[in-house]
Amino acid sequence: MRLRRLQQEFGEAVTVCHRSFVLIAEDRSDRTFKDYHRDHRHAASTQDSDSPPFRIPAAGERYPRGSLPALEAAAWVRQEQPNLFPAFDLALFEAFFGRTEDISDPETLARIAASVGADPDGVREALASARFRQLVLDEHHEAAGRGIRSVPTVLIPGRPAVVGAVPYPDLREAVAAGCSGESRGGTSEGS
């Protein structure tokens, strides 16, 4: 949402390029929300009034097994139905942070895809075949090679990276500074 707002505000001076960043490797164990997750969500929810409401889950509620399935589904939508990617990206965010849905579940991801008009069967096939897994892992390794260790991370040419859920005015100030004196600034965020 903040990146869309920056694009609206700065126009062509800002280019957003979403890339995958694996936050949680596939974990077959039973994962649950811990106080750490709850505290993180609470802090992030206070950063930006434009964000959809965050649901703060109870400790012990089910946590996704991994972020890889959601990233593979997003990569599929980004490549196969790029006009729907912004809506899918937002729907994923709202599903996980607003409703605490398990975005590691293929059927949940297919339903989210359908909710924005993307092909749910295409998402199911992409997940079943792991067709986009290598792309996701390559993007993750590229980001790690650039020193990125968490999301969101916003890269602005000639400026230090903006890491974490910083307040929008701080992000806007960093982008404005990066755009001043340059013909084109750029931002990038792991999704």
Q: What is the pLDDT of residue 49?
A: 61
Instruction: Output 57 or 16, whichever has higher pLDDT.
Output: 16
pTM exceeding 0.85: no
Of 26 and 177, the structure prediction assigns the larger pLDDT to 177
Q: What pLDDT score does 191 carry?
A: 47
∠ at Cα 135 (25, 117), nearest 5°? Answer: 90
Res. 183: pLDDT tops 50: no
pLDDT of 188 higher than 60: no
pLDDT tens-digit readout, 91-150: 998 898 888 888 989 999 999 999 999 999 999 999 999 999 999 999 999 999 988 888
- The residue behind tokens 């949680």 is 24
What pLDDT, on a 0 to 100 scale, did the predictor assign at position 26? 63
Burial class of residue 170 (count of CB atoms within 10 Å of its CB; 0-12, 13-18, 19+): exposed
Measured between alpha carbons, how far is residue 109 from residues 74, 92, 115, 124 in Å? Answer: 9, 8, 10, 8
Contact assessment for residue 64 and residue 104, using Cβ atoms and an 8 Å cutoff: yes
More confident residue, 30 or 39: 39
Retrieve residue 98's tokens: 């607003």
